[in-house]
Amino acid sequence: MPLDEAIVSDVAAYEDAVIALHQARFADFVAERKRLAAELKAGEDKEGAARLAKLPRPPVSAWVVNQLWWKERRGFEQLVTLAARVKAGEREASKAHREQLSHLRERAAELLQEAGNAAAEATLRRVTMTLSAIAAQGDFEPDAPGALSADRDPPGFEALGSFAAAAAPAPARSAPEKSSATAAAEARREEAESRRLEAERRRAEEEERKRRLVERERLSGALRDARALEKTQQREQSRLQRELDDAEQALQETRALLDRLEKEIASL
């Protein structure tokens, strides 16, 4: 195979592995990453294997957004389209955009539960924020579609301001400029909203940290139990081996007795 074709083949194999990895169950992500990296390495794509092995497992909120992309593609793309329409100033698209966002949030809760994960309110808030961020941006960049590595924050208030301004009717040319008091009040509202979003993000991160801690403690307990069981089974194996050795020795002695008796009978 020519060198350039081999490079294209390696790139395609790596991209396919990334797609497969981000469609895996959340609990299976690490094992699947290891398996796919081994397949790439076996296929002589050591660079791709190393890159794949370094891909972090996304938080469960980002993981379920990826699942929405793979399993609810039509609804996901509709959300992005509606966001673009709202941004372009189509006020009638705002309600549809909110409804579609709510629908995807509900579907995310279902996917989480189907995969054995808790659909916590904090997790669903992070899902909503990430969906809003992707819809506002229009794509998954810098990640590949359906391969988020982390949660996303909605656009900053400058972007939100232009978004809202586009949806609002243009003021008459004769309308007076906003008073300084009005502008200050708006600035305070924006600052308060910014603090609220930041607080939500921190709450979500703290709940995710606690969830990981509980999961780590559960797995550590399971590991201790498994080690204790292994020791018990090893002792049982040793006991059974001794019994087997004794039985083999007794069998050999019985066979020797039979042989001696047969010889004595034959000599009579």
Contact by Cβ (8 Å): 131, 105? yes
Residue 149 DSSP one-character state: S
pLDDT in tens, 226-260: 888 888 898 889 899 998 888 989 999 999 999 88
Give the CA angle between residues 60, 64, 70 to the nearest 5°. 145
Instruction: Tell me the pLDDT band of 151, cut-offs 50, 70 and 90.
Output: very high
So what's the pLDDT on residue 196? 74
Q: Where are the domains of the chain?
A: 3-53, 58-168
Mean residue pLDDT of the chain comes to 83
So what's the pLDDT on residue 241? 92
Average pLDDT value for residue range 22-50: 93
Q: Is residue 91 helix, strand or coil?
A: coil
Residue count (the chain) = 268
Q: How far apart are CA 72 and CA 83, in angstroms?
A: 17
pLDDT in tens, 192-224: 766 776 676 677 778 778 888 888 888 888 888
So what's the pLDDT on residue 69? 96
- pTM as predicted: 0.56
Q: How far apart are CA 62 and CA 140, in angstroms?
A: 11
So what's the pLDDT on residue 102? 94
Q: How far apart are CA 245 and CA 239, in angstroms?
A: 10
> Hey, what's the torsion of the CAs at 54, 59, 63, 66, to 10 degrees?
-80
Residue 175 CA, distance from chain mean position: 51
Contact by Cβ (8 Å): 139, 63? no
